Amino acid sequence: MIVIWFLSGLYVFKSKRNIRNPLIVVLYTLPLFHLLFIKEVGPYSAMMMPFIYLGILIPINNIPLKKLFLLPGAIAIFLLLFSLSSTFNNIASIEFTNPRSFEEFFRSLDIKNVNVLADFPYYYIITKSDNRFISIYNNKNELSESILNNNNIQFAIIQKDNYNKNSELYKNLGFKVITEYNSKKGESIFYKVALALKKNIRTGYDGYVLKRKIEL
């Protein structure tokens, strides 16, 4: 959608029609400002969609009638392929992004009323058991050693990739892996196909549970 919107904007400004119209200027500069400076690609980006859709529709009046018949079909095919790709990624991710299995696993550990250092995906499950969630990262999304040195932290739940990068640091601070959680993603045919196609599937709950003995 962004590519089509960008090409539509180039067409409008190249044709020099209505480029001084404030509405036209807003339709193409506001999403551009959002993409370049805000750099948010999550749910808040949905606020830009009306501007992007209108920015795509504006040039249609300037396209010759013969070519105009090809445009809706091309856009429809693009949206169909995009939707199918997104749907496939969701299906491939559904087994290991479902929190129920991990929630049952966490409940079986009987970790309650303590400070738990963890990655963001575990936030809601940790706090449901009256624990205090402590983010492993500082405001710059960098590993904060000052947080890790906090002696009030007894447990940690870290996603596997993140733990493998910093395993020595955790060990030096007295953390020890007591168990690990593995989803059944490897059994999913969709997951296997997604890996073969090198699709960017979502991160799941697979990770390690660590415990540290607090010196009194």
In tens digits, what is the pLDDT along the chain, a chain of 216 residues? 788 888 888 888 887 766 677 778 888 888 888 888 876 666 677 788 888 888 887 776 666 656 656 666 776 777 777 777 777 777 777 766 778 888 889 999 999 999 898 888 899 999 988 898 988 765 555 566 666 666 688 899 998 888 888 888 888 888 899 999 887 665 667 667 766 665 666 667 888 999 987 654
Mode of pairing for the β-strands spanning 153-159 and 132-135: unpaired
The answer to whether residues 31 and 52 touch, using CB atoms and an 8 Å cutoff, is yes
The answer to whether residues 156 and 117 touch, using CB atoms and an 8 Å cutoff, is yes
- Render pLDDT for 176-189 as a digit per residue (tens, 0 to 9): 999 998 876 656 67
Domains of the chain: 2-94 (no CATH), 95-212 (3.40.190)
- Render pLDDT for 73-111 as a digit per residue (tens, 0 to 9): 776 777 777 777 777 777 777 766 778 888 889 999 999
pTM equals: 0.55
Determine the Cα–Cα distance for residues 72 and 65; give it in Å rounded to an integer: 12
Q: Over the Cα atoms of the chain, what is R_g?
A: 24
